Structures are given as structure tokens and as C-alpha cells.
Chain A
Amino acid sequence: MSRIDTTFAKLKQQQRKALIPFITAGDPSQQLTVPLMHGLVAAGADVLELGVPFSDPMADGPTIQRASERALKNGMSLRGVLGMVAEFRKQDAATPVVLMGYGNPIEAMGWEIFAQRCAEVGVDGVLTVDFPPEESHEAFEHLQRHNIAPIFLLAPTTNEARIEQVAKLARGYVYYVSLKGVTGAGNLDLSAIEQKLPQLRKHIKLPIGVGFGIRDAATARAVAKLCDGVVVGSRIVQEIEDSTEKNVVANVGKLVKELRQAIDQ
């Protein structure tokens, strides 16, 4: 069983929901990414989404755009991100790590080399925002060969036929984008999520994580009630931006602890 499957199976047994924080690798500095990852786990994270910065983050709002710009300025590359996961794995063999980003840095490296490296360093899943199932045949083949889970997004606009299609390809968990918009948007609509989930559950047997627009303990708790995992990105990245290099790990840890408590309540 993969790390992602094991993690969700254990959570289910405990009747708990997954907390899935997102940070951009290389933000605020390359040195702080691995300590931040360990800090997230210590504060109660179940799965880590590690953002691979891209020069043109079309699906992201201003907060994660700025994080990508800082990370690229710090010299972050896909190769570097893989190295960070290897470093993280020296002390944590259990927590699943999902790389999230845009397809071009992977295209530039080549999918086979990338998938092979993911397996070597201990990456568990890969989410490429701008590669829908229609364009993911090559990616899927290579990820599959190395037992890396392709994580797919579903959106409020996704119709039933597409949900069925994604259900066939997805592994690990499925990421439901809770709103029409970019990351960090403020227009979360809980009743809309509640209405959409039965349609998703009809076809998706994997755990469903919900993200985009979750900005505090209250929204995290409300969303957790509806699904299997809560993804929090922009709020954490904002905390990183508002912190100094000295207190960033502590500040992010404190925030994630609050989210954890809210979800477990």
C-alpha cells in the first residue's frame, strides 16, 4: 500500500479528516523548506503538498504568485525540489508528499526521468494543474510505471462524464477545487460544495480533499465535515510571507495546529 493510501486508511479508522497543507518549495528560502515540512508534520499535517514554482502560475492568486516569484528568485528548480524531498525523507519515512505545480518544468525534464526521480526520492503523488486527463496520457504512463499517484483536480464546472473519466485515472486522492477562481479567492460556498459532493462520491471511490478558499479554523472545520481532507494553501503561504526567517517555522506550526484542532473537533 502506498503512503497516501495508508495515511487515508488510518485516518478513516480513527474517523478523522486529513489536513493537507501546501507550501511553495524555496519560499521563503531554500534552507527553510525542509524544516517547514517537518514543522507542518509536527503540527498535525497528514499529507504535504509541495509547490514547484513556475514563472507563469495561471491558476494562482496573488499570494501564491508572490511565493513562486520569491522561490524562483531563490534559485528553486524542479531538480532542487526533488532534492528537498530526499532530504525530508531522511527523517520522515511515513508522511506522503505530493508535488503540485504546472506541467512545463516536468516536460523540460522529461516525464520518465521525472517519475523515476520521484520514486527514488520518495515523492508519492503529482498534481499538474494545467494537464487535464485529456493531455495526461504520457504523464500517466510514466507515473504509473513508478507507482507515483497522479492527483487530479475536479471543479464546480466538472460534469458527470468527466468525473467518471477522472475516477478511472486518479490514484491517491482527488482534489476538489471548491470554487470558481484562483487559489486564495474569498468566495467559498459551503452549500455548493455540499451539493456537489454526492455527484463526486457516486464515481470517486478515493478520498476527496477540498481546497481553494479555506482561510481559517472555522472554514477548515466546516469543509472537513463534508469531505475526507482539507487542503490549505494561500493562508499558510500568507503566514510565511508575514513572518521572518527566524519565526516562520514556529508561526506556521502554530497556524497548522489551530487548523488541526478545528478539524478534529
Chain B
Amino acid sequence: MSYNYPDSSGHFEQFGGIYMAETLIPAVEELRQQYLRFRDDPEFKAEFAYELKHYVGRPSPIYHAKRLSESLGGAQIYLKREDLNHTGAHKINNAIGQALLAKRMGKKRVIAETGAGMHGVATATVAARFGMECIVYMGAEDIQRQAPNVFRMKLLGATVVPVESGSRTLKDACNEAIRDWVTNVESTFYIFGTAAGPHPYPMMVRDFQCVIGNEAKVQMPEMIGRQPDAVIACVGGGSNAIGLFHPYIEEKSVQIIGVEAGGHGIASGKHAAPLTGNAKVGVLHGNKVYLMQDENGQIIETHSISAGLDYPGVGPEHCLLKDIGRAQYVAINDDEAIAAFDALCRFEGIIPALESSHALAHAIKIAPGMSKDKVLLVNLSGRGDKDMNTVAKLKGITL
């Protein structure tokens, strides 16, 4: 049986759906209809492809991390270089897709939530590119730890609104963006940053991000004459991961591994790994997913060194891939991610984002136990420039 999700009502078996307040239901329904209309429209596809090539700089290369691999003495690690995209991460792929849709729907105001700030920067960028007003909601805590990205967004003409409620991180930024959307539903397009939220977002964001995996499927045979043995990506909401994974779902010889943020360790409870930590199914931000919550159904505060992974839920398609066993999900702790960050800097001259460092850390963990002819393809979803303050602080250095 072939894999074909979501169904027409936006469900990935029990996951997904449209759990939104009534005021927004017509908006998500309109979005669904417009997306389905333009998705296969040759003109839309051509414009999207043009922007990806000439504005983002795609295709992003695949790079053989030879020195790093040699130092580990096992499997060869290859990197899909999403960090080389314009704005420095995979987020731009989706932001452009949604902005092109917003343009066709006549929306002149876009809003976004952001955690690490990469999606905020991507949205601010496309808003400038297409002449739209842009408001970005960002948790006050994240504004502290990602100051350079806040400045970038402002340079690009966006208004950055600090969110002081709740845990003052990504989930609270989502809440606030939803409140803005419900208030300005007719004028505003919500450029949602990850493959989660109400239908059609998980499907639409995935489709826009699938350029990652589609390119890799062509590039890997060109480089090594075959597909990799495993594809590995970090999972917060999971958009870079699903973009790489989805084209590989039917390639049964390729193992799929998602890496969640283990924080201080799963046992400590201070993590952001709903899949690895066996969280219960719940409903938040428009979809039913595995969700970190207490026994009363209140969402609990998560912890990760990486703001982009610091989220209590995960996209519905990852929940399904876990349940059907097609993908395996593991967690990498803060300190392991930092060690991988350092390793890539020193061995390859590449400064990775802390989010991507989680995926890399898992590859570093398993490579030594594999033979040298095995190949791991890691999605290097973003670059680490934005993380200078966080890493410096950890090392006891004031910039």
C-alpha cells in the first residue's frame, strides 16, 4: 500500500486536523482551497522554482564531511547544505512558497511566529522581497538568546513583537500570532514556520520543504552512485526533517532518523522531545499530535539549548511516521549538540546552527559503529551565526 497522507480532511490517521476557533476555520478552509488550486498551477510552480534558484541559491550542495568522518573511523557523513541558502536556513523555502500564495490571495500583511528567529528572518525577507507588511511574534526569552536575528528582522523592515506570556518561547509566540490572525483574519496571511498547525499547513509546509529531499535524491546518486543508508535531521516542529524525509518514505532501503532536543536528558524531564519522551497525544495550535503535557492536560514548559527546537509538540506527520515505524526518533542532549557544533567548526570549517547540531550529533554517535562504506546524509538545516551569543555564554565568554 502506498503512503498517501494527509487525507482530504487533513488527518494523518489520528493526527493533524483543524483544531481552531470558529473565527479562523473559514480562513484555513480558504487557504486549503487556494493552496490546492495553485499547487499544481504551472505558473505558480515556475515562479516558486525561479525564486528558489535565483533568490535562495538552490540547489543547495551536498558536501562530504571527510575529515570529520575520518576522525570517527566509521560511516561517511554527508551534509545537505541548507545553511548555504539565502538567510541561512531551510526556512526560506517555505516562506517563499507561502508568500507567493499570499500574493495570489491578495493579502498585503503577513505575520509569523519564530523561535530561533530563522523563520522570522525568512518571513521578514520575503515580505521585503514582495512588498508586504510583516509582523513577527517572538518569545521574550528567545529575543534575549537570539538578539542578532531580532536585529536582522528589524533591518528587513519587520516589526518584532516580544511575547511575555507563558514560557516566553516559541509556543507562546504561536499563541500570540494566532490571536493576531483571529483579529485581522481578512487582511492577513499567517506564514506558519513549521510542518504543524491546522490543515493545510502540515501538508503545505512539507510540500514546500520537499525540495530538500527531492534534490538530495538526485544529488546522492551523482556523488556516490546510490542513495544514502540513512537520512538524519533535527525535529522541533519538524519542517526541515519532513522536507528531507518525505521523498525518501517509499525508498525502503533508506533508514529515516529524526533527532529531537534531549535538553538535560529525557529522564530529567527538561527536554523538548515529545516523540522520544513518549508524550501523550494532545491538541495544541490547531493539530492533534504527541504533546508534552502534565496529567491534567496542561502544556508543560520545555527546555532545549536550541530555541528552534524548544517546542512541546511536533508535526503530525512525524507522529504518524513514528507510529507506523517508518522513521525512528531519538534525542540528543544539549552537551552532545554542543560537542557536535565544535566538531564541525574544527574539522570542516562549517559553523552549524545549534538545531542542526543535534542531527549531526546523532550521526557522530552512530558513525563509529558502522562500516566505512555506509553513508549518513545529515540535513544541515541552518548556519550557526545566530548562535554566537548562546555558545559564547556557555563557554563563559562575553562578546
- Interfacial residues, chain A to chain B (CB-CB below 8 A): 54-59, 61, 65, 69, 72, 77-79, 102-109, 129-132, 134-135, 152-159, 162, 177, 180-182, 185
Contacts and interface: CB of A to CB of B under 8 A. Distances in A.
A101 B332 CA distance: 35
B106 interface: no
Given A135-B288, A155-B21, A157-B22, 12 more contacts: A58-B178, A59-B179, A102-B283, A104-B284, A104-B291, A104-B297, A132-B18, A132-B22, A134-B18, A157-B26, A158-B22, A185-B183
A56 B26 contact: no
A177 B22 contact: yes
Interface of B: 9, 17-27, 165-166, 171-172, 174-175, 178-179, 182-186, 280-286, 288, 291, 293, 295-300
A81 to B, nearest CB: 10
B81 to A, nearest CB: 35
A109 B297 contact: yes
Contacts of B184: 180
Contact of B183 (A104, A106, A134, A180): A180
Nearest to A60: B179
A58 to B, nearest CB: 5
A70 B293 CA distance: 18
A205 B343 CA distance: 68
B22 A107 contact: no
Contact of A77 (B9, B21, B296): B296
Given A104-B293, A132-B19, A72 B183 contact: no
A78 B26 CA distance: 30
Contacts of A159: 26
Given A65-B165, A108-B296, A58 B19 contact: no
A108 B18 contact: no
21 contacts: A55-B300, A56-B171, A58-B21, A58-B174, A59-B182, A77-B298, A103-B283, A104-B297, A108-B282, A129-B21, A130-B286, A132-B22, A134-B17, A134-B18, A153-B21, A157-B26, A157-B27, A158-B22, A158-B25, A162-B25, A182-B183
Contacts of B174: 58
Contacts of A129: 21
Nearest to A75: B296
Contact of B18 (A58, A135, A181): A135
Choose among A69, A104, A155 the residue with the greatest number of B CB atoms under 10 Å from its CB.
A104
Contact of A103 (B9, B19, B186): B19
A56 B166 contact: yes
Nearest to A131: B19
A181 B297 contact: no
Contacts of B178: 58-59
Nearest to A158: B22
A21 B291 CA distance: 32
Choose among B22, B183, B291, B299 the residue with the greatest number of A CB atoms under 10 Å from its CB.
B22
Nearest to B30: A157
Nearest to A65: B165
B283 A130 contact: yes
A180 B23 contact: yes
A181 B182 CA distance: 5
Contacts of B17: 134-135
A107 B297 contact: yes
A158 B26 contact: yes
Contacts of A102: 283
Choose among B19, B280, B291, B293 the residue with the greatest number of A CB atoms under 10 Å from its CB.
B19
Contacts of B293: 104, 108
Contact of B282 (A59, A69, A104, A131): A104
